Amino acid sequence: MSHKNTVVTLALGAIALSTQAQADFLSDSKATLGLRNFYFNNDNRNGTATPSKTEEWAQGFMLDYKSGYTDGAVGFGVDALGLMGITLDSGKGRHVGGSMMPSDTDNSAVDQWSRLGLTGKVKVSKTELRLGTLMPKLPILVSNDGRLLPQTFEGGQITSGEFKDLTLTGGRIEHATGRGSSDQTGLAAVGGTRESNAFDFAGGDWKVTKDLTAQYYYANLDNYYTQQFFGLIHTLAIADGQSLKTDLRYFKTDSSGANSSGTSGYKISGYTQGGDGEIDNKTWSAALIYSLGGHAITAGYQSVSSGSGFTQLNQGTLPDKGAGGVSLYLYTDRLIQTFTRAGERTSFGQYAYDFAALGVPGLKASVMYLSGDNIKTTSGDNQKEWERDISLDYVLQSGALKGVGFGWRNGKSNSEASRNQDQNRLIVSYSIPLL
């Protein structure tokens, strides 16, 4: 992007202004090399559609460099993110769609792929402007990191902490690069085949008290939708090592521009009231998390209105097969399903345990179950689905391999609205500090 190159040039020019500026820029720099070995197995248990099974194994490398800032009232800096994936195994017929790695011209998995992201940054007081490659973690946009390499976006974002207990964020996203791709695309909602190049957002987090945080965000994807988010998070300290957290979330999403007029290519897929592909959704959820020592118990409920399914940025129906893969700021965004179909009502519960409480630091486990009903699809009005997920993680605490992490994810889903699936992910990860 043009403004990315401009800011990088400004940052490098500022470095040469003084020896002190250069020292601050370099001495505060950090660089890490992240290694991730990822095995992915998704087995469709019913239906005639292909594939019946996706099974792939790959090695990923992520070089993450973050500079310091030049000295002075206005500080300049530059970050760089280098990503590379190497296919270790993806047998014939077991790679479909580029979920984890890009597809070659014959639809087989490529041997390797890579991409480079640069971000110029400017800081004044407690306000920072970033232009270039971004990985947002906001209620209205969450960068997906559920495969070998993360999803990235291109645009600008400004974050300000000038006011006590209030963090303000705003910006514009213009392009995305999927987790299984090296190529940028424009933006879309699921089902959309025409690109938008403007996702504008603004919002903030207000720490009302030390125990209560209020959130509001607004977003607009040009020609697709506008979205408002309201959130409240409260933590009640009951006793030493014992607390009750309440998490309330509400999204209101309405059609905008070409989607409102039903223009071909901007319609969304799935059930919509009237069958016109128009976005019209309200989704709310409430979750309670009770923690006691190493134990954490979550219970919650989510309701999706019946005008259409819950919608956020999703490039999966654009021509680039690796453009898909999204994360949602919802408790129901799980390994296999998201429980966000039109009309869906979902109850969910999770039990998690941190074995550090038993003298085994680094070992964590959880199990979660979700059950949704009242689903509206083009083939039925009261369909059901459920999912069970198991998570197990361990990070070595000592020895030559200290810091190496092992992860296992297992999910099983039965659904009347889609194919039944079993999924396993095995992940070995390690981070090497370089600076």
Contact indicator for 435, 29 with CB cutoff of 8 Å: yes
Q: What are the DSSP calls for 69-111, one per residue? A: --SSSEEEEEEEEEEEEEEEE--TTS--TTSSS-B-TTSSBPS
Give the pLDDT score at 5: 52
pTM: 0.92
Spatial CA neighbour of 148 closest among 79, 90, 217: 90
In this predicted structure, the answer to whether residue 21 has a pLDDT above a threshold of 60 is no
- pLDDT digits over 296-320, tens only? 999 999 999 999 999 999 999 998 8
Average pLDDT of the chain? 93
Over residues 402-413, the pLDDT tens digits come to 999 999 999 999
User: What does the alpha-carbon distance between residue 184 and residue 327 come to, in Å, rounded to a whole number?
Assistant: 18
Sole residue written with tokens 């990822």: 38
Q: pLDDT tens digit string along 325-341?
A: 999 999 999 999 999 99
Rounded percentage of the chain residues whose pLDDT exceeds 90? 83
**For residue 45, is pLDDT > 90?**
no
The answer for 132, left when phi > 0, alpha when psi is -120 to 50, beta otherwise, is: left
Tell me the two tokens of residue 30.
């950090």
- Residue scoring higher pLDDT (4 or 24): 24
* 269-299 per-position pLDDT tens digit: 999 998 999 999 999 999 999 999 999 999 9
User: Residue 8 pLDDT > 60, yes or no?
Assistant: no
Contact 237, 292 (CB under 8 A): no
Per-residue pLDDT at 352 exceeds 90:
yes
152 strand-pairing partners: 177
Do residues 304 and 331 touch, judged by C-beta distance below 8 A? no
pLDDT score, position 20? 52
Give the per-residue pLDDT at 297. Answer: 98
Alpha carbon of 9 to those of 14, 115, 120: distances in Å? 9, 20, 8
Segment holding 10, helix H or strand E:
helix 2-15
Distance CA 113, CA 181 (A): 8
Specify the fold of 2-433: Porin (2.40.160)
